Amino acid sequence: MADQDRVVVVTGASAGVGRAVVNEFARQGAHIGLIARGRDRLDAAKREVEEAGGKALVLLADVADAKQVDEAAERVEQELGPIDVWVNVAMTTIFAPFLEITPDEFKRATEVTYLGQVYGTMAALKRMHARKRGVIVQVGSALAYRSIPLQSPYCGAKHAIIGFTDSIRSELIHDKSNVHITAVMLPAMNTPQFSWCRTRLPRHPQPVPPIFQPEVAARAIVWAASHKRREVYVGWPTVEAIYAQQIAPSFADRYLAKHAYDAQQTPEPVSPDRPDNLFEPAPSEYSAHGIFDKRAKSYSAQSLLNLDLINLTAHRGLIASAAMILAGLAFAGLKRRS
């Protein structure tokens, strides 16, 4: 199927990585269903799609509501055609020590970040399974394998997504289905979440450096939608975190306890009028990028290798082994310095 004929659905399409994914698919001429809660940002995303030569359908929906997600999928199929690719990106979180998070806050972050992907997968798979074709892309994180402090709702949800996805993958294999499900693990990204997610930190939240632009993630996600990979790791920090967790998890616990509090905060205090999108969309004109443009990298050398942009596909196992060795050496060095 030609790229320009593909029907794609993206959740969390109005900002951050989701917005970057939308723009990447738009450049291929795809027809895209845009799911999010904020009308103004969705309308802006639609204009960008059309300017790039694609076609877009705005779908106001809260991914934590299974009925709304299924109704959005039905509208896509009625107005754009059968869904070829579904990308689950939507998320929210709260930055705070666990004991300072209320049950309602934790529940809401879990419903959006984890159950949002479950409901998106349900809506997509119900339609794809009957046709015996389609691709579902789960947008994950290095934090799905190596949790960090101050983000327990987000880390828990990302871990759950991997467990859920592995289960569904096995079922698809059992059914000899041609539907493919994959997960893309991301490093720290320069997105608006650090400016509008709820926080109880004394200073402004930031992604743990090194930071990457959302277009780095978008290119990997769009690539994953056309290639049969079980998982795709984006950026050396992701590879290092995942393999270091396998090598020295107890040391990682202690290292992050010592360093990850400051690493997740800028020197600036949190603004008293900071927007908050945990329960309602935050008013803002943010699109794909957050406030860390000056510090964010626009490319990842690791992704160039991993996405087969040069002829190293046959050596992915060797690269993974080398990454494990490098991660072990890195942690050994950190342990000596500590």
Q: Which residue has the higher pLDDT, 70 or 324?
A: 70
Residues 314, 228 contacting (CB under 8 angstroms): no
Residue 63 near residue 35 (C-beta atoms within 8 A): yes
The per-residue pLDDT for range 66-116, each reduced to its tens digit, is: 999 999 999 999 999 999 999 999 999 999 999 999 999 999 999 999 999
The ranges assigned to domains in the chain are 3-337
CATH of domain 3-337: 3.40.50.720
pTM attached to this predicted model: 0.89
Give the model's pLDDT for residue 69: 98
Alpha-carbon distance values, 190 to 201, 216, 220, 294, 315 (Å): 19, 10, 16, 10, 30
Q: Which amino acid is at 14?
A: S
**What pLDDT sits at residue 317?**
53
Residue owning tokens 């004929």:
5
Q: What is the mean pLDDT of the chain?
A: 90
Over the stretch 268-280, which tens digit does the pLDDT of each residue have?
999 888 889 999 9
Catalytic sites, residue numbers: 154
